[in-house]
Structure 1
Amino acid sequence: MACAVDEPLKAAIDAGILAGDEQDHRLSLALIVAEAWGEALIAKGERDAREAAKERQASARKVAKALDLLALDLSDEADALAALLEATETTDADTDEMVAERRRQATLFAETARAARRIATEREIVPKGGNRTDHLVRGYFTAFSAWWKDSVRPTNADAIKARDLIAEALAFDLGLIADGYPVGAFARYGFKKI
């Protein structure tokens, strides 16, 4: 199957810039693409995990606040019932049990609120996040650059032009750049960023 990368790749081989045959280089470029996709997926996964952890922490803060209010209400209710029994100087086993149950519930909710606050403040659960760069493009240029250094013979202006043409043609085949993008601009930008 013919790809946009075939012509500049063949031209670089014919000019003596790249050693080896076209099929070997196509295979190497396929490995570059696989490596770039893998690294991009890992970076995206880490970024998504960070966002999910932040959302969990925000939810934990909200839950802790609600549980604190519930614990306070239950504690106030238990105090009010106890005060009522004391003011009337009566003892009622059912009411005493109700006071004790409200205090147990308040304690349980307060402990759960503390656990939720711990979740909300733990740094270990928030994975280290990177910048919002396009990790696929960055990984592509990093892997391509390493391949180029291993494969190129001379490092003159013709070699740089061939590198840029091959990198852009392959990126076009992958859908990383759209039709009409200025020739050379994508490669210059990409290689400058790594």
Structure 2
Amino acid sequence: MEKKIKGSNERTESEDPSPRCVLEIPATSSSEEECLDWKKRYRVALGVADGLSYLHNDCPRRIIHRDIKASNILLSQDYEAQISDFGLAKWLPENWPHHIVFPIEGTFGYLAPEYFMHGIVDEKTDVFAFGVLLLEIITGRRAVDTASRQSIVMWAKPLLEKSSVEEIVDPKLANEFDETEMKRVMQTASMCIHHVAAMRPDINRVCS
């Protein structure tokens, strides 16, 4: 069975996380009972950040996942996030600043610019994808709109720059969210999707 990394204070690794479901975007459905409220979404965001911190900092060798996306996040019964599918993952030796990887693999919409254009892979590759995931959690939109093919990054950047909570937040949340938490996640997403890798925070800064 493939390994799955569980985001928790214990930062443990589990082969059988008993997932409830895969994180789905949009994070709501036509049924109010199935809507992921903000409390659950925020818990998922924190769990993924914690799982990435384990991969980047606490493993014997640094692991770059390379395919952080909604469908690779499993949710337990209590909505604890668990990172799965390590088919594209790369070990990064301690003294290597990055890998150069070809061919380019991953999921369109989540690929960092330096990876998509030059094949450069390091922790900031995952941080960019995590920023895209945060945008999905905030907005309920997919990484790439199926009709217009517009990326969520291009759509969201102008709204993030003017801190427009009302325009960017998923309307299905019906304004039922902690505004301080929402602004914090918006700010984090904005930093994580910076087009310059060096300007993105490392995952420990995100978790702090």
Please indicate the TM-score interval, normalised by the length of the shorter structure: under 0.3
TM-score of the superposition, structure 1-length normalised? 0.26
Q: Which is bigger in relative contact order (C-alpha 8 A, separation at least 6)?
A: 1
Higher strand share: 2
